[in-house]
Amino acid sequence: MAAIDQLSVNTLRGLAIDAIQKANSGHPGLPMGMADVAYVLWTRFLGYDPAWPDWPNRDRLVLSGGHGSMLLYGLLHLSGVDLSLDEIKDFRQLGARTTGHPEVGEVAMVETTTGPLGQGFANAVGMAMAERMLRERFGAEVCDHRTWVLCGDGDVMEGVCYEAASLAGHLELGRLIALYDDNSITIDGSTGLAFSEDRVARFGALGWHVQVVDGHDHGQIASAIKAALVDPRPSVVCCRTIIGRGSPNKAGKSASHGSPLGVDEVRLTKQNLGLNPDEHFAVPAEVVARFRERDAERASSSAAWKQRVALSGRSAELDAFLSADVSGWLEDVQWPSYEAGASVATRKASGAALAAVAAAVPSLVGGSADLAGSNCTYLPGGGDVTSRDFQARNIHFGIREHGMASVCSGMALHGGVRPFCGTFMVFHDYMRPAVRLAAFMKLPVVYVYTHDSIFVGEDGPTHQPIEHLMAMRTIMGLTVIRPADAAETAVAWKVAMERSDGPTALCLTRQGLTVLDRTVMGPAEGLARGGYVVSEASAAPAMVLIGSGSELALALAAQVELEAGGVSTRVVNLASWELFDAQDRAYKIEVLPAGVPRVSVEAGITQGWERYVGLEGASVGIDRYGLSAPGKQVAQALGLSVEAVIEAARGLLV
């Protein structure tokens, strides 16, 4: 190994251990162990331009083990990608961009927010899928980059990684390359405590090209990467590394994984690496020069790409695909319409709206977890994505809910496509970690959740969501919408597609719902404000009934009887708490006037509804698991009825 290569790698290690020691917090093991692999990739193979860090045709590099963030920060600083040494010194401090785990949007070329293990790996699969789709549409002269992921034992143990890797192998994502930090150490000690499977055989069985190298031998690393570049399968290079390499007393031990080395060990480590133990955050000029010696070549590559795009005559089209804002295309959507009184399940209305959106928005792609027919998520005429056809738009994710959601996040992060995915609402539990991160990253993914209540019926309690609506509402940044009829479902899709700063969950019925007569009730467009008056009281309201989704019908039926009994009653549809809470105070008071008793009705837990009905109000819902029987029988047995709403309202008037 050339002396400059060794100095460069050890400078990366030195920056990591100094920053972590100064913060008295962090994970030095991964940056020290994977420094050789990352250095070879970054300086010899990674396609990027530090002067244009968000170049659309750059390679994507995902650090799936986000706890090793100082490795990525060191690479970015040494490469001149808008990250100063002072920010390195401020690692993990309040207000610093150098957060403990990398966060997308904070530092350029941090491609995704990682931390929960396995998520970054799955995101990378989504990025590779988006790249293939753009490549098929625009050609290699416009889209010609790769997706790289640095992962470790913790990632590979997580189920989401297996789900995503299985899909990647099936789709033959040959431009996806994983560099696996195979160091056999986790927090508790040796991986042998819980992990003895043959990872080489496993990835091979999943359809991956697999190689094993010494992760500290630059020649072996480079040769393996070259072989991966020409293999048509997704590739994983198992890099046998020593965690905490260079530390005399902690290398190869779990002690180096998640804690600072300690002042004395930092000094010994620097001496062992040939660094000055009395110098902190040292960045030799020759190392900077090494990292930046190909900058002219990189600038030339990005400039040539820009020229190719201009000559292709498709620059405007590409910009439209890369933009998360699809409002221009939405102007051309031919939204479906419905006759008042018709019975239409909102899942079917969603399917019609989705087809209409897809006809106008060419970047829309997605699918479901083996439930396309039930979720109504299949795009007519869209074709099926296969290893041989990435011009198609229907993705068969298989029964992999967690992987599906994480892959969709990766697609959104890459840009060029607007992803959606679907499953039964009860299986949101399998997706929640990925949905939470999508909300954190403000990704415009649409989740289609059907079979949204106990009206699933005979499938029984395992498939009847009870606490799920409220659980989704606790995810900050996720907009949850539960439309009450077909017309509102179209509006919900419009709202979801207009969002470019966060994900949306559409919660839809299996059973038919009566299409409301909008000539006598509030317009369906009111859903865009989250809550609105659907049916006004005959006089100043003495009671407000609040419903969502299928239970709005119960509130409307109860209103009729209450009005007949002399109780002036208003019915409000609170289809989306998030959209309603975003309205100004005056509008919210106009819809829910102060001092008027309120009753909520929803097929789910009542916990949380006190936010809108107050402690003096009442909530009709389901605070237990469901039953196996026809849906209407289940609802009656669990007290979800017009009579229950009326009784609750009258109880507040006593």
Tell me which residues are annotated as active site.
401
- Is the separation of the CB atoms in 1 and 35 below 8 Å? no
CA 112 remoteness from chain centre:
9
Q: How far apart are CA 508 and CA 348, in angstroms?
A: 9
3-class DSSP state of 435: helix
Q: Kindly give the pairing relationship between strand 235-240 and strand 176-182.
A: parallel
Please compute, for residue 193, the number of CA atoms within 13 A of its CA located in the half-sphere on the CB side: 11
Q: How far apart are CA 429 and CA 369, in angstroms?
A: 13
Q: How far apart are CA 416 and CA 498, in angstroms?
A: 16
- Is the separation of the CB atoms in 535 and 552 below 8 Å? no
Helices (H) and strands (E) in the chain, counts: 27, 20
- Is the separation of the CB atoms in 529 and 579 below 8 Å? yes
- Is the separation of the CB atoms in 53 and 104 below 8 Å? no
What's the longest Cα–Cα distance across the chain? 91
Q: How far apart are CA 236 and CA 239, in angstroms?
A: 9
Q: How far apart are CA 378 and CA 625, in angstroms?
A: 31
Q: Kindly give the pairing relationship between strand 364-368 and strand 531-535.
A: unpaired
- Is the separation of the CB atoms in 637 and 453 below 8 Å? no
212 has which bridge partners? 238
Please compute, for residue 622, the number of CA atoms within 13 A of its CA located in the half-sphere on the CB side: 27
3-class DSSP state of 142: coil
At residue 477's C-alpha, the angle toward residues 472 and 483, to 5°, is 55
Least Cα distance to 164 among 125, 210, 127, 128 occurs for 125
At residue 543's C-alpha, the angle toward residues 596 and 512, to 5°, is 130
- Is the separation of the CB atoms in 368 and 375 below 8 Å? yes
- Is the separation of the CB atoms in 439 and 478 below 8 Å? yes
- String of b and e for 41-62 (b: at least 16 CB within 10 Å)? bbbebbbbbbebbebbbbbbbb
One-letter amino acid for residue 346 of the chain:
T
Sign of the alpha-carbon torsion through 639, 641, 643, 646: positive
3-class DSSP state of 42: helix
Q: How far apart are CA 569 and CA 214, in angstroms?
A: 74
Q: Please give the backbone phi and psi of residue 171, each rounded to the nearest 5 degrees, phi first.
A: -90, 0
| Cα→Cα distances 33→246, 251, 378, 524, Å | 8, 9, 45, 58
CA 559 remoteness from chain centre:
41
Distance in angstroms between the alpha carbons of the first and the last residue of the chain: 86
